[in-house]
Amino acid sequence: MSNNKEEIRIGVYICHCGHNIAGAVDVVGVAEYAAKLPNVVISKDYKYMCSDPGQELIAADIKEYNLNRIVVTSCSPLLHEKTFREATTKAGLNQYFMQMVNIRENVSWVNENFDDATEKSKDLVRAAVQRVAFQRALEKQKVPVNPNVLIVGGGIAGISAALTMANAGKKVYLVEKESTIGGHMAIFDKTFPTLDCAACILTPKMSSVKNHPNITLWTYSEVSNVEGFVGNYKVQVTRKPRYVIEDLCVGCMLCVEKCIFKEGKFPDEFNQGLSKRKPVYVPFPQATPLVAVIDDKTCIHFKTGKCTQTCKTACDRNAIDFDQKPEIKEIEVGTVLLTTGFQAFDAKKVPYYGYGKYPNVFTSLEVERMVNASGPTEGHVLTREGKAPKSVGIIHCVGSRDEKTHKWCSRVCCMYSLKLAHLIKEHTGADVYNFYIDMRTPGKGYEEFYDKLLHEDVHFIRGRVSEVTDWITSPEEEGKLIIRAEDTMIGMVRRIPVDMVVLAVGMEPRDDAQEIRKMFNISCSTEGFFLERHPKLAPVNTFTDGVFIAGACQGPRDIPDSVAQAGAAAAEALVLIDSGHVELEPNTAYIVDEICSGCKSCLNICPYKAITFDLEKNKSSINVALCKGCGTCVAACPSSAIKQNLFEDVEIFSEIKGIFVE
């Protein structure tokens, strides 16, 4: 409430914004009009209010005319509210005595009639003049930031971010769902366009994570609860039982060798099901931590209780513990980095490409494992019959750029298809056909790699494949798969018989993305990837302060982009941590205790979980650090006991009155 005894002295500043506003609004006329409004002491128009002279103009006037309220009539507050608040502060006036009016986005850019635009600008200025008189001085609150950080997801993005944060001296908790870190990158054989061995560049980083004194690595673990707010999160992590004591196991593999199953019997997830594993296993030789895990869904001990436990006997370090229970860890962190990655599109969802029906239709990830020397075929590309293919068709955009599945481009498939084409040709000498819609190779050295492939005698057919069948028309085609596609370069439908089909599956949000989104109170964009605060200017921030995102959980991207984003997210988190505290906007809601009846109507409607109930006082209470000032509770309170700074009733009503009453 304004102090009635205080004389209100308002300064109004109309910005031309070059021609942006002045070209569509009579700025001089608006300024002259404003000068006659009640409480307005001075009213001026100026070419660029945001320029230094523009800001100084405000500061000088505050002193000269003893102004105590400022109205800046220019562009969107999103752009320059901070600028004019600072200018106001510089002159010794509380920054919340400044009110902005947007006559650019809301008026000049969207109106064609000069007079109408001018009239509307006058209305908006009049409203702001009435409102600003009631605005109060407010202070930003400072909250300390816990320097510890939680990183969820141990793929290449999580690994990179963890090492950056840890090297900067911060305590990092890295939580990974699987029994090892490494993510999708660990599955790949080579990386494009340099054809670096993926393991050679990834595994040193995995070891660094394991050995870093500042990193606590919890694999086979999931975040189960999150409470608190920016700078002060309380997180619960559930460590699933792996039935092998991590501190005792040295990864000698004796238990795997001595398992009651002589041979692997269950699909090996790491090898995309192309090989079999035992119930006790280590996913791959460079798994980090190098600790065995027992899968209780397939282990005989857990299924029947009638196993001789040969693995346990074999372990001379007594590392196997069948009685292990889930363990809950409670940690406190100030910032959170989500690097939970993606999942590959399920090729069975496009039945016309025959995955799951024809044995020799493979996904790209399966072929990644095949070309890998430590993979299920020891580096040989083989059909299911165990023969080297003489011809291979790679189908691009499976689950990408498709109205029926996913509309987006997955960004990596063109490049990895080129890589696989090169590797398949290198390994088998087969004729390789790439069926593409467009080749998308924007990246350093990517187009050059495509060019290299064009000279390697790989065939490129431009057109979406309509189907893969076993519909052969001559005896020579016996056993082959027939790819039918329109070749848009020659304007004909082509029919190419091949021994093997590779489906370049796209990237999609993980099935558990929604669960994670809810837990950390962030948003997803329509397709289900985590939503960034701004697509261009805040790509690793979210709308929840202190929670950052990086890598393919935010959208399809390749390794270099994921690593770059991880660095950006780490930097953003470091900014928060190193500033030591966060400043909270004071436009928060507050409860007038004398009016609150304790009806609890507000408790469940707060989207930010900012309202709690004080049992002793029998009244609701708002945590200002969590409140985002959305106003939902203010509107919902049946006794009007909740008010909101900067949006007090008197402020809003006087603004509305200003709009309508001349």
Partner 1 sequence: MKYLYYPGCSLKSSGKSYEESMLAVFKHLGIELQELNDWNCCGATNYMAINEQSAMSVTSRNLALAEEQGGSGEINLVAPCNACYMGLLKTKTYLENEQGLRDSVLQKLDSIGMKYEGRVKVRHPLDILVNDFGLDKLKMAVKKPLKDLNVVSYYGCQVVRPITAFDDASDPVYMDQIAMTLGATAVDWGMKVRCCGGSMTSTVSDVGLRLNYLLLKEAKRKKADIIITACPLCQFNLECFQDKISRKYGESVNIPVVFFPQLIGMALGLDKKELGLQRMFVQPQYL
Residue numbers of the site for partner 1 (CB under 8 A)?
351-352, 357, 467, 469-472, 482
**CB nearer partner 1, residue 503 or residue 642:** 503
**CB nearer partner 1, residue 356 or residue 607:** 356
**CB nearer partner 1, residue 394 or residue 481:** 481
**CB nearer partner 1, residue 65 or residue 352:** 352
CB of 390 to partner 1, least distance (A): 21
CB of 472 to partner 1, least distance (A): 7
Of 500, 454, 477, nearest to 353 by C-alpha is: 500
CB of 489 to partner 1, least distance (A): 25
CB of 463 to partner 1, least distance (A): 17
CB of 435 to partner 1, least distance (A): 17
Q: Which two tokens stand for residue 310?
A: 């040969």
**CB nearer partner 1, residue 258 or residue 484:** 484
Q: Which two tokens stand for residue 70?
A: 């400022």
CB neighbourhood size of 359 (10 A): 13
CB of 61 to partner 1, least distance (A): 58
CB of 420 to partner 1, least distance (A): 25
229-262 in b/e burial notation, b at 16+ Cβ within 10 A?
Answer: bbbbbebebbbbbbbbebeebebbebbbebbebe
Handedness of CA 202, 208, 214, 220 (dihedral sign): positive
CB of 399 to partner 1, least distance (A): 15
Element (H, E) at 562: helix 559-578
Beta-bridge partners for 503: 363, 395
> Quick one: three-class SS letters along 69-126?
EEEEEECCHHHHHHHHHHHHHHCCCCHHHEEEEECHHHHHCCCCCHHHHHHHHHHHHH
Task: Calculate the alpha carbon distances from 324 to 245, 306, 409 in Å.
Answer: 8, 18, 44
Q: Is 414 helix (H, G, I), strand (E, B) or coil?
A: helix
CB of 658 to partner 1, least distance (A): 42
In angstroms, the first-to-last Cα distance of the chain is 23
Q: Is 3 helix (H, G, I), strand (E, B) or coil?
A: coil
Amino acid at 199: A
ω into 147 cis (within 30 of 0) = no
CB of 473 to partner 1, least distance (A): 8
d(CA 614, CA 325): 36
CB 484 within 8 A of CB 469: yes
d(CA 215, CA 208): 9
CB of 479 to partner 1, least distance (A): 13
d(CA 51, CA 46): 10
Quickly list DSSP for 578-616. HT-EEEE-S--EEE-TTT-----TTTTT-TT--EEEETT
**CB nearer partner 1, residue 151 or residue 468:** 468
Q: Which two tokens stand for residue 648?
A: 């007090």
d(CA 129, CA 662): 12
- Judged by phi (left if over 0) then psi (alpha if -120 to 50, else beta), residue 217 lies in beta
CB 419 within 8 A of CB 427: no
**CB nearer partner 1, residue 32 or residue 470:** 470
**CB nearer partner 1, residue 470 or residue 585:** 470
CB of 343 to partner 1, least distance (A): 22
d(CA 561, CA 565): 6
CB of 618 to partner 1, least distance (A): 52
Of 559, 648, 581, nearest to 160 by C-alpha is: 559
d(CA 225, CA 515): 11
**CB nearer partner 1, residue 140 or residue 357:** 357
**CB nearer partner 1, residue 478 or residue 662:** 478
Of 173, 213, 219, nearest to 330 by C-alpha is: 173
**CB nearer partner 1, residue 313 or residue 466:** 466
CB of 482 to partner 1, least distance (A): 7
CB of 469 to partner 1, least distance (A): 3
**CB nearer partner 1, residue 22 or residue 472:** 472
CB 331 within 8 A of CB 238: no
**CB nearer partner 1, residue 476 or residue 616:** 476
CB of 652 to partner 1, least distance (A): 40
**CB nearer partner 1, residue 474 or residue 604:** 474
Amino acid at 43: S
**CB nearer partner 1, residue 226 or residue 468:** 468
Q: Is 417 helix (H, G, I), strand (E, B) or coil?
A: helix
CB 83 within 8 A of CB 55: yes
Q: Kindly report the CA angle at 158 between 152 and 160, in degrees rounded to 5?
A: 155
